[in-house]
């Protein structure tokens, strides 16, 4: 009985994984939610303080209407990661 439950769970999990599109990071475009998750900030904080920083990478404005008059901002994942890593300290000294 337990084996059947486990088998069904694994089949459902495998199906879910197969449904997800997995792209290499250099081809991913992120929205504000993705950026917030990556940086471990709330979406609100990310929108108000991170994305508005003048040094933050500019978004690509993807059209969301046939005419192209409405757009949605998306950021190249590697640009966001490079921005975050720019604050990495190369020499850390513990006193």
For residue range 23-73, what is the model confidence (pLDDT) as tens digits?
Answer: 899 999 999 999 999 999 999 999 999 999 999 999 999 999 888 789 999
Question: What secondary structure does DSSP assign to the chain, as a single string?
Answer: -HHHHHHHHHHHHHHHHHHS----GGG-EE-HHHHHHHHT--HHHIIIIITTSTTSPPPEEEE-STTS-SEEEEEEHHHHHHHHHTT--S-----
Residue 95 pLDDT exceeds 70: no
Whether residue 92 is contained in a domain is answered as: no
Whether residue 94 is contained in a domain is answered as: no
Whether residue 43 is contained in a domain is answered as: yes
Range of the domain at 39: 2-85
Number of domain units in the chain: 1
pLDDT value at residue 18:
76
pLDDT value at residue 70:
92
Whether residue 26 is contained in a domain is answered as: yes
Whether residue 29 is contained in a domain is answered as: yes
pLDDT value at residue 90:
66
What's the pTM value of the predicted model, to 2 decimals?
0.72
Whether residue 74 is contained in a domain is answered as: yes
Whether residue 48 is contained in a domain is answered as: yes
């Amino acid at each position: 009985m337990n084996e059947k439950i486990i088998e069904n769970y694994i089949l459902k999990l495998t199906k879910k994984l197969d449904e997800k599109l997995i792209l290499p990071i250099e081809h991913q475009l992120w929205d504000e939610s993705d950026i917030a998750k990556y940086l471990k900030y709330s979406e609100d904080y990310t929108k108000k303080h991170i994305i508005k920083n003048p040094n933050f990478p500019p978004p690509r404005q993807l059209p969301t209407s046939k005419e192209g008059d409405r757009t949605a901002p998306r950021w190249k994942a590697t640009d966001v990661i490079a921005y975050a890593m720019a604050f990495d300290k190369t020499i850390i000294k513990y006193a």
